[in-house]
Amino acid sequence: MKFELSEEQSLIRDTVREFAESEIGPSAAQRDEEERFDRALMFDSLAELGLTGIVFPEEYGGAGADYLSYAIAVEELSRVCASTGVTLSAHLSLCANPIYLFGSESQKQQYLTALAAGEKMGAFGLTEPSAGSDAGSTKTTAVKNGDGWLLNGSKIFITNGGEAETYVVLARTDKDAKKHHGISAFIIDKGTEGFTFGKKEQKLGIRSSPTMEIIFENCLIPAENLLGEEGEGFKVAMKTLDGGRIGIASQAVGIAQGALEQAINYAKERKQFDKPIAAFQGISFQLADMATQIEASRLMVYNAAYRASAGLSYSQASAMAKLMASETAMKVTTQAVQILGGYGYSREYPVERMMRDAKITEIYEGTSEIQRLVIGAALTR
């Protein structure tokens, strides 16, 4: 077992860090304030760097790197801007990846290549008003209609919604089949007739990432846009979320790392009673705990990413990593705000944004409760 990044992985870390700090970071606070997604900055420039297809083979326009490199990239982006981190994670893990895993060769040529190159942006439609973590109770329907499928229903809380050109969407294709069996996955292009966007969510955190409702009203899509086998949608969703958890866990580690660095810098500069507050054990012990928890989370994420690249099972590893990292992010960012005191609570400093951003990592792509359910079920199977 080797706990060292390869030369390529370290170079990817250095490159994405430098890119994130110089390009993404400076506008993060303002974009958060204005709830503004900047596509040129938060997606197109990632595409130029080759991040939008990082894990896919070169033949599909990817960089041919491993999941660990991907985890590192999402972490480094999220360290300065969690919204940019999730833009990449949703695009790659939730849209491009299921097409890579389940798509036909022609679907890969048509969709994956454009997604990997960043010519198109991807999103994933699973959650519905009455079906959140419970994918089995999907209400959106897809009915065979001549040579295609007719979709009706709506999906909410769609990250990259409205901005993305390509959507992987889950819909019920067999009303009579048992809960998990009657669901199928589809690839849907923005601009398809009957496919519209609802309201843009106003959120606590990741405010620079667009979250929208997507609506299907008699939306007719070609038969070849079925992704994977008919009735296999639940499996597509579960596999997709396994990968997605690596992205979100990486996002959480990045947010936590960003907050820790802010707290350390502040603790070294801020003087009270004539010494830097870092000199007080009350602060330094907290910093030590924060750093330790982040490192544990990071290693768990790396483990899950390693297993994904090595072709080993990683559902359990990614669920554990996501649970650990997201709860760590929430804890660490809250502590960072506390260490910065009044400044931490002020928008002058980025830690309050990080704290708001951290909360979502405990919720989306499976709440902490769902992760525990998944992990517990596997343990007691």
Binding site for other proteins (CB under 8 A): 7-8, 10-12, 14-15, 18-19, 29, 48-51, 54, 58, 62-65, 69, 73, 265-266, 269-270, 343, 348-349
Q: What angle do CA 266, 285, 371 make, to 5 degrees?
A: 95
Helix (H) and strand (E) counts in the chain: 14, 10
Do strands 122-125 and 166-172 pair parallel, antiparallel, or not at all (unpaired)? parallel
- Whether residue 124 contacts residue 94, with contact meaning beta carbons closer than 8 Å, is answered with yes
Q: Which is nearer to other proteins, 201 or 261 (CB)?
A: 261
- Whether residue 85 contacts residue 74, with contact meaning beta carbons closer than 8 Å, is answered with yes
Smallest gap, in angstroms, from Cβ of residue 266 to other proteins?
8
Smallest gap, in angstroms, from Cβ of residue 101 to other proteins?
20
Which residues are bridge partners to 124 per DSSP? 168
Q: Which is nearer to other proteins, 161 or 350 (CB)?
A: 350
- Whether residue 51 contacts residue 16, with contact meaning beta carbons closer than 8 Å, is answered with yes
User: Which tokens hold the place of 295?
Assistant: 């490192």
Positions marked active-site: 365
What is d(CA 119, CA 111) in angstroms, rounded to the nearest whole number? 10
Q: Which residues contact 132 (CB under 8 A, 6 or more apart)?
A: none
Q: Which is nearer to other proteins, 6 or 145 (CB)?
A: 6
Smallest gap, in angstroms, from Cβ of residue 150 to other proteins?
40
Smallest gap, in angstroms, from Cβ of residue 61 to other proteins?
9
Q: Tell me how far CA of residue 195 lies from CA of 39, 154, 155, 351, in angstroms.
A: 21, 9, 11, 38
Q: Which is nearer to other proteins, 71 or 215 (CB)?
A: 71
Smallest gap, in angstroms, from Cβ of residue 170 to other proteins?
30
Q: Which is nearer to other proteins, 66 or 128 (CB)?
A: 66
The SS3 of residue 226 is strand
Nearest to 64 by CA among 39, 100, 90, 40: 100
